[in-house]
């Protein structure tokens, strides 16, 4: 039960009653939450939703991130990770190297998160072999690989439909798509920060196709660059509408923009409170997406802990090695141990739940 006396003077009484009843918030109500002078009140409403959905349960996964290449034809303005073909610092992993990375993780990963740049020469047959080899090396692991942007790139290289590419990769072991590549859907900003990348419509269509094939997917929003509050709300609304139609999003990951080594110069950098408020409003607006991730890599460990009281219920995982955020200046560690993740959660008085990639609790963990 929330304390209406706290929300009425802030003009949030009506929203508090809707949150209490589990009713959908309108875009206008989302605007009111961004405008509210008390961000902790917004956080309290999001925490109430989080508790109603998951109680004190706080999820984490033993996972391993792998980046197979940083060579990319897209040249997004915000991306510090990419290299052009032939540029120094570019890399491509062989299948043997990728499998070796999986096998050398401190614990066998239950979830493999593998993404890369849009490489001009790597063909679909390479990725089919890569998935098969990884699945053979780790039969228990769920392969969560390739953003919708990479799927669109493979389809263009092969002259195939994106649905056909997804079906081919699924047959080779692909189980989920990660949420990257969504950035911000608003076309004006998208044109400035990632003009060559799939459009919003294409990104959403590919996720719908994945859902129709029985592949669960995640979704993201990159914020704190050139977008407005209205663009953030539009982004959340488009995700919510897609989920109403195809229902396969498992988790939403808000990604605060890391500013180092980027061609984008931000005039008003995000504050910690901006990050927490955006996470809270995401929880409140995305009433049909079960989980919100506090991705410690981009947030830092301490801010991720705070986010668990602002609507988030998941910490991602052990990760082991991360390049995309760290090349853009993320100050977090490369990985966490299972014990560290559990301690982060218990230290807050919350209950750690080890999960698999689809958020099923791991039995006997």
Residues that bind ligand SF4 (CB under 6 A): 72, 74-76, 79, 81-82, 117-118, 149, 194, 197
Sole binder of ligand V47 in the list 39, 109, 178, 311 (CB under 6 A): 178
Contact 297, 67 (CB under 8 A): no
Q: Which two tokens stand for residue 145?
A: 């690989």
Sole binder of ligand V47 in the list 328, 344, 350, 353 (CB under 6 A): 328
Residue 298 binding target from ligand V47, ligand SF4, none, CB below 5 to 8 Å by type: ligand V47
Residue 262 binding target from ligand V47, ligand SF4, none, CB below 5 to 8 Å by type: ligand V47
Please state, in angstroms and rounded to a whole number, the distance separating the CA atoms of residues 39 and 273.
7
* CB closer to ligand V47, 29 vs 316: 316
Determine the size of the site formed for ligand V47 (CB under 6 A): 23
Please state, in angstroms and rounded to a whole number, the distance separating the CA atoms of residues 163 and 208.
10
Please state, in angstroms and rounded to a whole number, the distance separating the CA atoms of residues 339 and 1.
34
Residue 146 in the binding site for ligand V47 (CB under 6 A): no
DSSP conformation letters of 171-206: HTTEEEE-STT-----HHHHHHH-TTS--HHHHHHH
Residue holding tokens 């929003």? 221
Contact 148, 211 (CB under 8 A): no
Phi-psi group of 38: left, alpha or beta (phi > 0 → left; psi -120 to 50 → alpha; rest → beta): beta
Residue 258 in the binding site for ligand V47 (CB under 6 A): yes
Taking the complex as a whole, how short is the minimal distance between the CB of residue 253 and ligand V47, in angstroms?
A: 5
Residue 197 binding target from ligand SF4, ligand V47, none, CB below 5 to 8 Å by type: ligand SF4
Taking the complex as a whole, how short is the minimal distance between the CB of residue 66 and ligand SF4, in angstroms?
A: 14
Q: Which two tokens stand for residue 162?
A: 């994106």
Contact 183, 190 (CB under 8 A): yes
Residue 288 binding target from ligand V47, ligand SF4, none, CB below 5 to 8 Å by type: none
* CB closer to ligand V47, 65 vs 277: 65
Residue 69 in the binding site for ligand V47 (CB under 6 A): no
What is the β-pairing status of strands 63-67 and 249-256?
unpaired
DSSP state of 92: B
The b-or-e profile of 156-192 (16+ CB within 10 A means b, else e) is: ebeeeebbebbbbbbebbbbbbbbbbbbbbbeebbeb
* CB closer to ligand V47, 6 vs 170: 170
Please state, in angstroms and rounded to a whole number, the distance separating the CA atoms of residues 157 and 27.
39
* CB closer to ligand SF4, 82 vs 318: 82
* CB closer to ligand V47, 284 vs 298: 298
Taking the complex as a whole, how short is the minimal distance between the CB of residue 286 and ligand V47, in angstroms?
A: 14
SS3 79: coil
* CB closer to ligand V47, 43 vs 181: 181
Residue 141 binding target from ligand V47, ligand SF4, none, CB below 5 to 8 Å by type: none
* CB closer to ligand V47, 13 vs 75: 75
User: Would you tell me which residues interact with ligand V47 (CB under 6 A)?
Assistant: 78-80, 113, 178-181, 183, 218, 220, 222, 253, 255, 257-258, 262, 295, 298, 316, 324-325, 328
């Amino acid at each position: 039960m929330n304390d209406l006396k706290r929300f009425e003077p802030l003009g949030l009484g009506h929203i508090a009653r809707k949150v209490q009843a589990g009713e959908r918030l309108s875009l206008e109500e989302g605007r009111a939450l961004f405008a509210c002078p008390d961000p902790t009140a917004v956080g309290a409403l999001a925490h109430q939703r989080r508790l109603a959905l998951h109680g004190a349960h706080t999820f984490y996964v033993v996972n391993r991130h792998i980046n197979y290449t940083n060579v990319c034809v897209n040249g997004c303005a915000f991306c510090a990770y990419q290299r052009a073909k032939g540029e120094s610092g570019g890399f491509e992993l062989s299948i043997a190297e990728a499998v070796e990375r999986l096998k050398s993780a401190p614990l066998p990963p239950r979830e493999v998160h593998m993404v890369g740049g849009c490489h001009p020469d790597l063909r679909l047959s390479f990725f089919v072999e890569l998935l098969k080899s990884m699945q053979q090396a780790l039969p228990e692991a769920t392969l969560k690989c390739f953003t919708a942007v990479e799927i669109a790139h493979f389809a263009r290289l092969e002259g195939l439909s994106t649905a056909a590419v997804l079906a081919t990769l699924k047959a080779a072991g692909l189980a989920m798509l990660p949420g990257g590549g969504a950035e911000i859907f608003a076309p004006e900003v998208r044109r400035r920060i990632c003009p060559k990348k799939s459009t919003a419509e294409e990104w959403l269509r590919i996720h719908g196709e994945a859902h129709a094939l029985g592949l669960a997917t995640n979704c993201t929003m990159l914020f704190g660059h050139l977008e407005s509050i209205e663009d953030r709300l539009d982004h959340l609304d488009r995700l919510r509408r897609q989920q109403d139609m195809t229902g396969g999003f498992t988790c939403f990951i808000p990604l605060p923009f890391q500013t180092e080594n980027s061609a984008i110069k931000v005039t008003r950098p995000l504050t910690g409170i901006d990050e927490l408020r955006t996470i809270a409003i995401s929880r409140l607006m995305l009433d049909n997406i079960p989980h919100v991730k506090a991705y410690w890599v981009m947030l830092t460990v301490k801010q991720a802990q705070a986010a668990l009281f602002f609507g988030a219920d998941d910490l991602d995982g052990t990760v082991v090695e991360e390049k995309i955020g760290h090349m853009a200046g993320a100050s977090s560690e490369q990985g966490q141990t299972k014990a560290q993740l559990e301690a982060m959660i218990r230290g807050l008085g919350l209950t750690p739940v080890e999960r698999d990639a689809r958020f099923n609790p791991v039995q006997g963990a």
